[in-house]
Structure 1
Amino acid sequence: MIDLIIIELTDFDTQVWNKHPKLRFNSLTSDDSGEKIGSSKAYYNGLEFTKEPKGKVKIKGSIHKYYNNGLHNGDRFTFDDFEKAVSQLSEFGVVPEKAILRGFEIGLNLDTSKSKINTKTFLDSILYCGGIERSDMEINGKLGYGSKFKTANVTYKFYDKMEQACLQSEMLRIETKFTKMRAVENYGITCLSDLLDRTKLANLISDKYLKFIDKTIFFEWNQIKTTRKLPTKYKSKFKDLRNPDWWIKDQRNNTNRQRNKKLLEDLIKTYAKRDIKNILKGMILLEISAFARTKKCYEYTEFEPLKKWNCLDENAQKDVTNTPRIVRCDNHDQREGKEKKKYCLTCGKEITGQKSDSKYCNDQRKCRDKAYNLKVSEKRQAKRSQKEKEIINLIKDLGNEFNLIRTTNPNRKKIKGVPSRKTSIIATIGGKKRYYHGADARFFLNEFDKKTKTEVLTQCPYDTRLEHAQ
């Protein structure tokens, strides 16, 4: 769980490092005087040991990699392992109570090879993270394998650990990096020994790591490609909610964000084939339980705040060890014989009990008729749009060659009880006549007026048609 650490040692005798056989310090020297310039540094098993000219001594690097003899940090790193790694630092004169923290990381490696979803899908589904602008991470000189969300004191990261550490299996890394220690000062964490305090560490993980997962929205575009199945009142809103730029373009207050976040996640749970966030939280919870469990016992009472995350109840416990487990990660029940839930395509009402081929609820045919009318309206609109394009191209090509006579006022409003006069146009082109009536004719006149404002139009008797002058 703990990975990168940056510590500054106080009351430290540098002779311990100078005489240590595993440390070989290098520094820049002046060509003229031969004096050392800048800091002296040594490297051992993933850690960087620094002696600064002003007397400060620091250690920076991955304590996880140090525990693995400098090979990698792509496996599970439990709290017991962290305690052993800190104790091993004593050979370099590190006293945890005198090692001041200047920065550190907490994170988990999630083995996605055992999941139904690969690492790339998880990374591509990140839509929103606490109103923070997203930026790509560069991993091994390449982009597209991770994202980070940077604030003044903390940086949140999601990236492909297999690509970064050159591992053999799929691995997703989610971590929180504390770049400023004021981010953790309320938890009483100032030195390395405080990270060995189970209570302090549990509260920190719960508030600064797990809550940030809760604040993040994961949305798979392919799961809800269109708004066809969504209730009508949510269709327009949904187009904004699935846009990552929409969440950060305005300075929205927290209440507004939470309300919209809850709406989107409810729509995902109801209409998407799977809830990727629910799957991810299940994987995190299993990894958290493995991190906190000790070899002495299966109950990890010291990490009580972590047990309460994700609202686990007694039904999600193993009978013997009482170790939390995930009953099912996916949002939908996949057991045989379980009828899959169906919803009305218009209003969203559940229609699971209706016929197998039902698409709409049996509410006096309102939803079915509404859907039919919508389809008819869309077809009419498509046909009208095609006709309007034809008219625009006709006017554009022939332009002032027309000599039109107005029969009715196209902007005249229809009066109830008074029969309206029908506008008609006959355009003769190349010896062939084209007819336009009603709305098409009025659209023709409007567009023609825009094109030829200087034309003189004269009023004709009732029901006279306009004809193109050849």
Structure 2
Amino acid sequence: MDFDFRLWENDLKLDFTVVKDCRSKEEIGSKKANYRGLNFIIEPLGKVKIKGSIHKYYNEGYNNATRFTYDDFQEAVNQLAEFGVKPETAILRGFELGLNLDTTACKIDNKTFLDSILYCRGAERSDMEINGKMGLGYTYKTTNTKYKFYDKSAQAKIQTSELLRIETSFNRMRAVENYGITSLADLLDKEKLSKLILDKYLKPIDETIFFEWEQIKTPRRLPAKYRSKFKDLRNPDWWIKDDRCRKERKRNKLLLEKLINQYAKRNIQNILKDLISLELSAFSRTKKGDDYTEFESLNKWNKPNHAAKKGTNTQGIVRCDSHDHREGKEKKKHCLICGKEITGQKTDSKYCNNQRKCRDKAYNLKVSETRKKKKSDKEKEILKLIKDIGDKLSLTRTTNPNRKKTKGVKARKTSIIVTVNGKRKYYHGSQARFFLNEFEKKTEYHETNPIPVL
């Protein structure tokens, strides 16, 4: 770019600093000045660069956590003219597209949104450090692009609202070369910008896989044919490690979304898309009126839009409650065991009326869980007994736990009586066998010391 760097050096608003050699006082490296969130850089050979957030620059350097519309972007570029910046000759080396989404209205905290991301563009997730804390954001880095999801309110230290930032960062310009974007003027072109946002920002959101764990904690409610598959679908590592073609991955994604829509109280991806649509409407709205024709493709991205009322700044209710989003439809209910729809049954019904099979199965599962807990408690008691006073234990009598069963001969139940401090404790069946096995480990019995058979 043909630019006279002395224009910046003579500008009183730019206070440049440079590293100098201690002895020769010779300048080393580039001159740098920070002004309203932008870094103005003059390299030794006279080449100039500007780095930073133009959104922050528009906000007088305060932060970039506010709403930033297309009109605001135009105004910020016009303000750069005082530093000799011409959009046609300002060559881009990288830039970011991002929206700040106010999640306060939907009553879902940012952590829930962040933790629901299972898969994004085939990239492994990396934690972002925000104000010295981890877990407030994640990045997914591909060859030329980086996708960021993070808590903007935490980064900007805003306590009045919850802001979620979704950002696409182009680290290399070859990621957008097919869109004819090379200069700052190209980003001001509404047609080019619309296509770029659709393909490089909104399409990745559509392809990202979201699953809110709390909505379907167990596959018990799902049909039996999906339960095993569902355990894989909700696992982030499963999507990354297994090599699949695009067609197969899409088929699995559609299956997971189908299960979410049928058995979860809410679909967090749809809520997120509604929030994005709401913010896009605000981005494309001009100060001259509500003319969306130049950004029509953006406003058609997520129709029907439940989160925005066209033509006003009024924010509608973001659908995040438990009722069905479709008007006039009764909330669907499904049997907790077989997954069969039971919408027409009583309001407090949990199981289908299939000859009480599902109800009895649920009862048996409950009894089984109770027995397992009781067995576990008893085994803990035995282990503690052997550990604490194992050397003082006296084995009174027992059957042989290794005795093979003979067909036609009734097997005898294993029973033992253990004398502890003059008191007798009785163990039978599986408890006795468990006791004997652990007792052998403790006393290191071998074949030379067989257990007496009674």
Structure 2 length normalisation: TM-score?
Answer: 0.83
Partner of 2:417: 427
Does 2:89 align with 1:70? no
Does 2:339 align with 1:341? no
Q: Deviations over 1:339-395 (max 9, x none)?
A: 543221101222121122321101222212222222233334444445555566667
Does 2:122 align with 1:112? no
Paired with 2:376 and 2:17, the residues of 1 have a C-alpha distance of 75
Paired with 1:28 and 1:456, the residues of 2 have a C-alpha distance of 83
Does 2:251 align with 1:268? no
Partner of 1:357: 348
Paired with 1:31 and 1:446, the residues of 2 have a C-alpha distance of 78
User: Where does the alignment leave 5 or more consecutive residues of structure 2 unmatched?
Assistant: none
Q: Please report how far the alpha carbon of residue 434 of structure 1 lies from its aligned counterpart in structure 2 after TM superposition.
A: 5.1
Paired with 1:394 and 1:339, the residues of 2 have a C-alpha distance of 57
Partner of 1:208: 200
Paired with 1:167 and 1:40, the residues of 2 have a C-alpha distance of 33
Paired with 2:201 and 2:283, the residues of 1 have a C-alpha distance of 14
Paired letter, 2:201:
Y
Partner of 1:279: 271
Greater mean deviation of Cα atoms: 352-361 or 260-269? 260-269
Task: Give the alignment of 1:360-379 within 5 angstroms.
Answer: 360-379=351-370
Paired letter, 2:410:
S
Q: Please report how far the alpha carbon of residue 115 of structure 1 lies from its aligned counterpart in structure 2 after TM superposition.
A: 3.0
CA contact (8 A) 2:378 2:431 kept: yes
Q: How many residue pairs get matched?
A: 446
Relative to structure 1, is the Cα distance of residues 371 and 136 closer, same or farther in structure 2, using a 3 angstrom cutoff?
same
Does 2:281 align with 1:289? yes
Q: Deviations over 1:206-232 (max 9, x none)?
A: 122112222334444444444554445
Paired with 2:19 and 2:378, the residues of 1 have a C-alpha distance of 78
Paired with 1:281 and 1:125, the residues of 2 have a C-alpha distance of 14
CA contact (8 A) 1:275 1:331 kept: no
Partner of 1:80: 71
Select 2:48's aligned residue among 51, 57, 66: 57
Relative to structure 1, is the Cα distance of residues 434 and 424 closer, same or farther in structure 2, using a 3 angstrom cutoff?
farther
Partner of 1:164: 155
Does 2:85 align with 1:97? no
Paired with 2:318 and 2:63, the residues of 1 have a C-alpha distance of 31
Partner of 2:123: 132
CA contact (8 A) 2:123 2:141 kept: yes
Q: Please report how far the alpha carbon of residue 128 of structure 1 lies from its aligned counterpart in structure 2 after TM superposition.
A: 3.6
User: Where does the alignment leave 5 or more consecutive residues of structure 1 unmatched?
Assistant: 1-9, 461-465
Q: Please report how far the alpha carbon of residue 48 of structure 1 lies from its aligned counterpart in structure 2 after TM superposition.
A: 1.5
Paired with 1:386 and 1:169, the residues of 2 have a C-alpha distance of 49
Paired with 1:87 and 1:458, the residues of 2 have a C-alpha distance of 93
Greater mean deviation of Cα atoms: 64-73 or 418-427? 418-427
Sequence identity percentage: 60
Partner of 2:188: 196
Query: SS of 2:23's equivalent?
Result: coil
Paired letter, 1:452:
Y
Structure 1 length normalisation: TM-score?
Answer: 0.80
Over the residues paired in the alignment, what is the CA RMSD in angstroms? 3.7
CA contact (8 A) 1:423 1:438 kept: yes
Partner of 2:320: 330
Q: Deviations over 1:215-260 (max 9, x none)?
A: 3344444444445544455555545544445544x24325454444
Paired with 1:314 and 1:400, the residues of 2 have a C-alpha distance of 73
CA contact (8 A) 1:25 1:40 kept: yes
Select 1:46's aligned residue among 15, 21, 37: 37
Select 1:307's aligned residue among 279, 299, 309: 299
CA contact (8 A) 2:307 2:318 kept: no
Paired with 1:337 and 1:309, the residues of 2 have a C-alpha distance of 25
Paired with 1:111 and 1:324, the residues of 2 have a C-alpha distance of 13
Paired with 1:67 and 1:392, the residues of 2 have a C-alpha distance of 69
Does 2:244 align with 1:253? yes
Q: Please report how far the alpha carbon of residue 284 of structure 1 lies from its aligned counterpart in structure 2 after TM superposition.
A: 0.7
Paired with 1:110 and 1:126, the residues of 2 have a C-alpha distance of 16
Greater mean deviation of Cα atoms: 353-362 or 152-161? 152-161
CA contact (8 A) 1:123 1:159 kept: yes
Query: SS of 2:100's equivalent?
Result: strand
Paired letter, 1:27:
V
Query: SS of 1:454's equivalent?
Result: coil
Relative to structure 1, is the Cα distance of residues 169 and 458 closer, same or farther in structure 2, using a 3 angstrom cutoff?
closer
Q: Deviations over 1:122-156 (max 9, x none)?
A: 33444443332223322333434322222332222
Paired with 2:348 and 2:433, the residues of 1 have a C-alpha distance of 44
Partner of 2:446: 453
Paired letter, 2:152:
K
Partner of 2:174: 182
Task: Give the alignment of 1:27-46 within 5 angstroms.
Answer: 27-46=18-37
Paired letter, 1:288:
L
